[in-house]
Amino acid sequence: MAYKEQYPSALLTEAVEAISSLPGVGRRSALRLALHLLKQPAENVHHFTSAINDLRDGVRYCSRCRMISDDDVCSICSDKSRDQRTICVVESVRDVMSIEATGQYHGVYHVLGGIISPIAGVGPSDLTIKELTERVNALEQPQTAEVILALSGDVEGETTAFYIYRQIEASGVRVSALARGLGFGDDLEYADSLTLGRSITNRQVFKP
Amino acid sequence: MAYKEQYPSALLTEAVEAISSLPGVGRRSALRLALHLLKQPAENVHHFTSAINDLRDGVRYCSRCRMISDDDVCSICSDKSRDQRTICVVESVRDVMSIEATGQYHGVYHVLGGIISPIAGVGPSDLTIKELTERVNALEQPQTAEVILALSGDVEGETTAFYIYRQIEASGVRVSALARGLGFGDDLEYADSLTLGRSITNRQVFKP
């Protein structure tokens, strides 16, 4: 705090406080960024802050999958070439972008907006699980549709997956989960035993 | 660029572009920050952007030393307990803050606003060297006043120091430079030979 009081101007102090509220940005980085912004032309700085305000104020979410979208229905949900009967359930917008980047998935998504975590105070009602259940229940011939639980492999992820499974199993929809195992290029010697154990149990037919 | 086109919304794309224009912030970090800001209450985001706009639009510089200041004359220049006849010349606002943090200096400053660098296209007229010369020439009895050249030890710093020295030497003011040598706790074995050489040449009386 002694360092803080040495800022030469109240405006600079305010800006550093604001910037250092960002995750992963300490006070020193915040000062560096503030002094950088000071050196830029005013219109560049206004463009920077407007882009952020516009995002926050103008953001919309797809009414079906809750992905960030410019329209009521996102480009993935409205894409007729994608399999609308395969729903990949993910925690966040970023997960959708990661899976899209693989180019391997041609179904649609459902963004939960978080993960069940009693420690963080996040319960099922804070997520879009009810909306997912309604989507699944609205599917015709659910036996031929599929829900992929693409959640992280930690306790929260497993808990959330289990909770969702309980909500949708009665519909008869097929439920799958991401394959767990050694990553490509992973060394057997350094794999943790849980992952290696699952890799053996879930071994796959060798396809040369 | 393929990655960029996968952003699900134009607003998000704009915000990520803007945030990744900051130094040291890549596109991945920018996306992380943009999604973080999306999760915050709108008033927090507006406070964040206002603090930055206020800094850029409202910033003032001390009319004497060019330090960032809320007033026409900064708190250091207007501090009667400080030695107004010892002027420490630094490159940037951050340097002033670094020296202030040492608590070892009780004179005033002069912020150049950069360093002479032909490669970066920065010449003497882009800096506040003229203002410094005027300040020095206005000193009464300059022989008993002092200018400390506290510039970095690289080629640009040495060039700038030499240029300033030429501008102010005729005034008769005493000119000094930061001591160069081994840092506290530095290991002799790992010091570069230039630094070690200067440390030997400029050896000081041992004061136990």
Choose from A48, A60, A90, A127 for mutation: most chain B CBs within 10 A. Answer: A48
Q: How do the pLDDT tens digits run along chain A, 208 residues long?
A: 344 456 888 999 999 999 999 999 999 999 999 999 998 999 999 999 999 999 999 999 999 999 999 889 999 999 999 999 999 999 999 999 988 888 889 999 999 999 999 999 999 999 999 999 999 999 999 999 999 999 988 899 999 999 999 999 999 999 998 888 878 778 888 888 888 888 888 877 777 6
Distance, CA of B180 to CA of A33 (rounded, Å): 29
Residue of B55, B64, B71, B104 for testing the chain A interface, max A β-carbons within 10 Å = B55
Question: What's residue A96's pLDDT?
Answer: 93
Nearest CA in chain B to A70: B9
Q: Is B68 on the interface with A (CB under 8 A)?
A: yes
Interface of B with A in 10-29 (CB under 8 A): 10-12, 14-15, 17-19, 21-24, 29
For the record, the structure tokens of A187 come out as 């060394």
- Contacts B59 to A, Cβ<8 Å: 9, 11-12, 38
The upper half-sphere exposure of residue A144, i.e. CA atoms within 13 Å in the direction of its Cβ, equals 4
pLDDT of residue A208: 67
Asked whether the predicted pLDDT for residue B1 surpasses 70, the reply is no
CA gap A79, A77 in Å, rounded: 6
How would DSSP label each residue in B80-142? TTSEEEEEEEESSHHHHHHHHHHT---EEEEE-SS--BTTTTB-GGGTTHHHHHHHHHT-SSG
Confidence at residue B2, expressed as pLDDT on a 0 to 100 scale: 40
A-facing residues of B in 69-88 (CB < 8 A) are: 69-70, 74-76
State residue A31's pLDDT score. 93
Confidence at residue B4, expressed as pLDDT on a 0 to 100 scale: 42
- The one-letter amino acid code at B184 reads F
Query: CB contact, 8 Å: B120 with chain A?
Result: no
Residue carrying the six token digits 């224009």: B21
Q: pTM score, two decimals?
A: 0.78
Please give the mean pLDDT across all residues of chain A: 90
Residue B38 · residue A53 · CB < 8 Å: no
**Residue with tokens 């020193």, as numbered in its chain:** A28
Please state, for a pLDDT cut of 70, what percent of chain A lies above it.
97
B63 touches chain A (CB under 8 A): no
Q: Which of B3, B11, B44 sits opposite A59 (nearest CB)?
A: B11
Percent of chain A with pLDDT over 90: 72
Q: Average pLDDT, stretch B102-117?
A: 93
What CA–CA distances, in Å, run from B131 to A38, A88, A181, B91, B112?
A: 21, 65, 67, 14, 9
Please state whether beta strands B68-69 and A83-90 pair in parallel, antiparallel, or not at all (unpaired): unpaired
**Nearest 10 degrees: Cα torsion B26, B32, B35, B36:** -120
B165 vs chain A: nearest CA distance in angstroms? 27
pLDDT digits (tens, 9 = 90+) for A97-151: 988 888 889 999 999 999 999 999 999 999 999 999 999 999 999 999 999 999 9
The pLDDT of residue B203 is 79
Band (pLDDT 50/70/90 cuts) for residue B124 is: very high
Residue with tokens 């160069």: B180
Q: A101 CB near a chain B CB, below 8 Å?
A: yes
B-chain residues near A70 (CB < 8 A): 9-11
ipTM score for this prediction: 0.80
For residue B17, give both structure tokens.
């572009």
| Probe site for chain A from B6, B17, B46, B48 (most A CB atoms < 10 A) | B48
CA distance B183 to B199: 10
Q: Which residues of B44-61 are buried (b: 16+ CB within 10 A; e: fewer)?
A: ebbebbebbbebbeebeb
Give phi and psi for B122, each to the nearest 5: -105, 115
What pLDDT sits at residue A3? 42
Q: What is the pLDDT of residues B155-206, one digit of tens each?
A: 999 999 999 999 999 999 999 988 888 787 888 888 888 888 888 888 777 7
Q: What is the pLDDT of residue A2?
A: 41
Q: Which of A19, A55, A60 is opposite residue B15, by nearest beta carbon?
A: A55
Q: Which two tokens stand for residue B71?
A: 């007033």
Query: Facing residues of A123 across strands?
Result: none
Phi, psi of A92 (to 5 degrees): -140, 165
Q: Assign B102 a pLDDT band (cuts: 50, 70, 90).
A: confident
**Which of A14, A31, A100 is opposite residue B54, by nearest beta carbon?**
A14
Please check the confidence at residue B27 and state whether its pLDDT lies above 50: yes
CB contact under 8 Å between A59 and B38, yes or no, is yes
Looking at beta carbons, which residues of chain B come within 8 Å of A8? 67-69, 74-76, 93, 96-97
Is residue B133 within 8 Å of residue B168, measured between CB atoms?
Answer: yes
Residue B5 has pLDDT above 70, yes or no: no
